[in-house]
Structure 1
């Protein structure tokens, strides 16, 4: 039987979110109902509320989540009721051209649940990133559920569902950061901080954190940055070059741009060493364009200019590994949980996000 639970919904553009009753259908073929234990408050949720993703209101917000599978539909074999899972928005299809060539982390036809969750009057909801986890329960495609160690703290490992995975993956998967490589991360919010942590776990050195907020730079040091640069006070490109200037280096091996702005992308471009890699993981707005850079500089510096989608992750490969590292004390996911809040506190969490007061507020149900 369909269930009525509480969920946080954005009914109209720029209006405060509301905690309302929503209807969760029984899972159909290939679907699962998950009882949500914890869900992080991500900038993407705010973008949905502000109409920055699309205008398919009303939205059921929330997507960085962990919980327990309650029921599965016909044909589901990868998870079963009782499994502890982290939700993801890359349920790969296995059949598209990316999957066919052995690169499922680029899957172009990822799955979501076929059925719709609704308001009690029957109005269909658009779940954020196909998940919608600011709710007591949610309906997802079974492939969006990744089994992990059930002893792990839900508030911490749920963050792998988006921002933390995006940052770690931008460093390790997209940027190819390995032992001995030098790294700079421009923008030390949640995603940038995760890039710093991922670079540290991979053995990179030096790791240079760049931001204009001293609080974020202090946190970056805690997470593994060996140097910090306040770009409000100095030219970050010159500062990075000075730090790595030995042996003729003109910059770092990998620069991760976690802001998503033309001016910081340009800084990242010139902060690379020759043949260095630039990874864009910050999300730009539709009006932004590439800065004016001579094409000869693009050719002359060599290397690679990349963007990172979800940290180029494959959830069934990456989530269990990262949760195991967390359980071993080698990956401090707890450091990203600034506060635990109730499901009715999301508007206040958005305000704290605006002021840079948190890495993540996490709703615990």
Structure 2
């Protein structure tokens, strides 16, 4: 590794909680930024008590999202706490927050006040609906954005209530867009000399994620609406989930050449006679038109075989496929291990941690985070010292609880 990390020398104040904001901070830390996590005294970030809870100090959730950061805990109800935070923000390049619009203005930590003091500050806000529009005042979580965005309505079986997505799509997708926007604003600052306010909304980012549903509706004059289809995609036959004798797998044979190889193999290995040469199925429109017939044949063929047998046959003809894996399969997957996507850290209290890594891969620098997530207020003194506080002043702030430590 021959280069410094891309964001070395950038100071980030992570005044966020739970998921979207902390994820942004973790990403920036991996890219080399100095990230200072700010928490409220007492209980700290609510994510400390969200699955998997280890004790009254932390959880897997918090450890995963806050690795690589320094930690301070500041009592904003004390004027000295507000002064400390404003001094900290004066020293910063980036400020991250994910509170309801207007909440931080009351604390003197809104964009207008902080940017007046520090014009170079890149201030990133993340909220459910954004800082403008008729719903901007409303509270919300990823679940709300998933429901509002039209994504939830598209999944599940016809006639049934849609299922929960079980991953925090809205938070994580918004978070990585915020990482991109922050880096762009930092680059823009080089020529403009000024930071700016980045206004990220969970609802916005999930609407932007629609790769086909919006244009299908608008370009059809409002006649084409996505429908729940369960285990396959009616506009891309054959593309879906199939049940084998000992588990589930996915097959992606929606491209004409892949379909022809698949259909020929199916006929050679016990599928319907003539299936491989049936010209009705040689185009996507033809396959979609005869989707029910195709699905019946493929489901029956897959059901009579094991997952391993089906995957071996499909690998042999270069048709994309995969087992539907559980998390234990994922962690033990040689590909995931080879890519280092389960990261190990040694924690002084919890021992060896195994947590999901970030997918950043650079040719000339290493983005592996070695610093574990901070205890509440762990770095109060160190951070205060960088702001010019004397040892005596720091001791007084700590004794009075302005700077709180667990």
Work out whether the TM-score is over 0.5. no
Q: Quick check: which has more Rg, 1 or 2?
A: 2
Larger helix proportion, structure 1 or 2? 2
Bigger relative CO (Cα 8 Å, ≥ 6 apart): 2
